[in-house]
Amino acid sequence: MTLIELLVTMTILALVMTGILVMFTSGLRATDDMNSRFQAQQNARLALSALRNEVGSACTVTVGTVTGETAGSQVTLVLPSTSTPTAGANSCSSGTTTVIWCAASASFAAPFSLYRSTAATCSSVSGVKRAGSLKCAGTASGCTAVFVKTTGAAMRPAVTVTFPVEANLTNNNGLYTLSDTITARNAGVNS
């Protein structure tokens, strides 16, 4: 084998090895992206399940906006006290606890996170983070479309919840939206 043939062979080998390295790198990035998306979606599903349990047993439901760190959406729930396990323990007359769920961001921009707070206000400081990577597209003033109260005559109050989840905020291709309408079973019927 001559020196020219050896150089040509080494160049071809280098091109093949570079192509393989590029494919492996792109596969690792795709795997990392999918794992991040899965984790964000799983956290949102778990948060929605916890929220569904609390709204379902709430005595009253109030939807408003987060004040303070950013404009956002929040729902305030008055829950029956579970400290007395009697036959009527699920009623609202035996004591109550107030819980606030909010979509807020300490940076005043996406990504927003879902927080649960038992304090007087709900924010990224006072609340416990239940889900992250919420992307509220089309809202200039913040994440305002997460909670919407739906009411009507002869209906129990309900909350429509919409969680747009995206772990990769630079790309809208994988936007995953969880949505549900949850009725407060312990609340009185609207007249």
Distance CA 69, CA 122 (A): 10
Show pLDDT as tens, one digit a residue, over the chain (191 residues): 899 999 999 999 999 999 999 999 999 988 888 888 888 888 888 888 888 888 888 888 887 766 554 456 788 888 887 654 444 445 677 677 888 888 877 776 767 788 888 888 877 777 888 888 777 654 445 566 677 777 666 677 888 888 888 777 566 566 777 888 888 877 766 54
Q: Dihedrals φ, ψ of 13, to 5°?
A: -60, -40
The alpha carbon of residue 55 and the mean position of all alpha carbons in its chain are separated, in whole angstroms, by: 16
Q: Provide the whole-model pTM.
A: 0.72
For residues 44 and 163, the answer to whether their CB atoms sit within 8 Å is: yes
